[in-house]
Structure 1
Amino acid sequence: MPLNPAFAATFAPPVMEARRWLTETPLPEGLPLLNLSQAAPVDPPPAPLRAAMARAIEQDPSIHLYSPVLGNPALRARLAARIAALYGGTVGADQVALTSGCNQAFCAAVAVLAAAGDQVILPVPWYFNHAMWLSLSGIEAVPLPTGADLLPDPDQAAALITPRTRAIALVTPNNPGGVEYPPALLEAFAALAARHKIALIVDETYRDFHTRDGAPHTLFTNPDWDETLIHLYSFSKAYRLTGHRVGAIAAAPARLAEIEKFLDTVTICVSGPGQMAALWGLENLEDWLAGERLEILRRRAAMIAGFQRLDGWELLGCGAYFAYARHPFDAPSPQVARRLLAEAGVLMLPGTMFRPQGDPAGAREMRIAFANADTTEIGDLMTRLGRVGQAVTS
């Protein structure tokens, strides 16, 4: 059977692999599953948004038609205004496009920037879908090591830049690490990219759950920001629209004209109900989203407090939807993940899924997607992890 070699060389989707573990592993008796494997809201959008969507689907014929490839003009304008207000910069509607989820925004940006044989620098641990797209495209993912605080170093990145480098891609708040990149660090990366005339891709899928009030960085205050910066965003996490696939990309209009070719070929346009929901959310759900942020921050605090009481585990990063930790067991993390599922009813992803193959650090690391666990369930998680630790060490 013919097969593109790049696909054959690319690892299988990690979340799908973890779901297979669920079908293969009996859960311990009396312990309900704590599924901490995926960073996606499991609750539906808030009731007022669902009602608005239902009315629009029934009453607005245009919602069922193709929209412009780069997105609904009203949504593009409203999102541009929100970005400008939040970051204190100047952003026009012609610098914003809508995509079918933030993953597609990354794929579109990379497709425009790089060809097979080129390179993109990714800090490790990295978001596996970013590494997968590069691999599928024949583009080399160049791993940028991070320190004990999981923050990348611009000087180390500079040493990795070659004539084949087309971009540096950062995620903040980070997936999988949970850490937030300080404004000065992002400014240093933007300056580095500008000096080398490469792009800086900044994925802020989890921006709405940042611990910092106000603007997370100053990149948009540069009047020439779109010469270097490609900014990615997701409505999936903000308004629980995961199934409707609505993301966004902010970039230079000339770059978006090239991205339009990609989007027109792949999906033609974002779904009408999804775009309608994103616009309604921007116009009506600011207070609701602020409450969601506070709840995520409460869960983050519960995670940090829980790990302080948990023997053997070391919390490396915690923020937005994720905690990233070093486990205390002798076994490599894929075996630990299966053991935790079988013995404690806890599903989390091993660090090997977030690092290049053979990177030894991944064998000691685990990612915990805690956003769907309330503070009571987080307390239960710590109890279960503590018991497994006692059983292994006794």
Structure 2
Amino acid sequence: MTERQVSRCDVLVIGGGAAGVAAAVELAGAGLSVELAEQRAALGGAYHRQPAGRASKVHARGRRQWSRLVDALERNGVAPRLRHVFLGVDSNGLAMLDDRAGSRVVAVRPRALVIAVGAVERVLPRPGWQLPGIMTAGGLQMILKEGGSPPPGDILIAGNGPLTVALASDLARLGRPPVALVEAGDPFARPAAAMRLASHPGLAVEAAGHLAHVLAGRVPWLRGTRLTAIEPRDGRLAATLRDRRGNARTIAADIVALHDGIRPNDFGLPAASGDEPVVIRAGDCREALGIRAAVADGRHAARQVIARLAPGRPARVDGTVARQRGAQSILGDLFRPVDGADPLAALPDETVLCRCEGRTAGELRAMLAEGDLSPREIRLNGRFGMGLCQGRFCADNVLHLVAASRPGGPVEPALRLGRDRWPARPVSIAALAADDEPRGS
């Protein structure tokens, strides 16, 4: 790729959600040249994802704020590159984008890079979690936002955290309440945390609205209960539940939506260096604080970049991020699982850990019994994290079991299944082989 084929800009923003668009608006408003890349065919991210056809009831929240951001983006002359997947930065400082519409890889040489690719959903492995008909709660929520209606069949929601309540509320409002909402925590048993939530009135009102729809839909909310296994039965899914007293029951459903929290989407992203391009993370990619913090954090990331590219202009701090950090702490206390036991410790050996490669908990335990293996050996010899997702979904769980097998050894954050490196996403051979058309510099 020649220099004539490389675009140049002051800042390349990756991610067209609230944080990324807010950062692009702030940067362009400061007079910097900005490019914005979004992997989907429309801006919006997870929260503001645009529905197909008619407007979706579950997408109404925050519409006015989002409209203002998109209008400001247009006024500042930032034309987003849609259907462009960020691959990484090469050794020469070129940011590589997979242009899915044009089936080619394009390069941009930015002075700074703002990465705002959101959060990823955590799902703990259970026996049977790899079966057809099982999806993440976030994935089902995206179906509702894009299509306006849920898939056919009875739906069971299970896991931990406020997103499960929001999803149950969305389904109830659409006339399809889930057969049950299974929650490992019990917010009703933690009145002190509930009282603290009153200091965040917007969040409290939203929570009350969700609960009202769940109650109106007569959704059984099984608090202090875990989904421990799923198996196919009579053409449906049979979910085994165990409550805080150890009592077990089974609920049948056609679809099971699982959710066990969220974490920053930092997979494959090397630590930022002092060389160009300057790399700054924003929004849930940096710290999973939710939509209320995303816009403020995007603007703060932009101000950090401005301060780096234009010395003498300090990055002004917005208190919104710290405030939402406190709100997330309250929610964490409210939804803390009643059973404090390690949910992975008692996994049956046949439980699949790595769905891409079909590797099980028993196979990992057998490897660990052979000696003190490094994460690299576990990856290469055991094939854990070697599939299509490259450990994006299994690495945390694998490393958790590795750490638990080493009393007094390294704690989980010190372990890495594979080193972080560009590219962040796989790229097709066809796109790599395609001839690049010259682009203006």
Greater strand content: 2
TM-score (norm 1): 0.27
TM-score (norm 2): 0.25
Identify which of structures 1 and 2 has the higher relative contact order when contacts are C-alpha pairs closer than 8 Å and 6+ apart.
1
- Higher Rg: 2
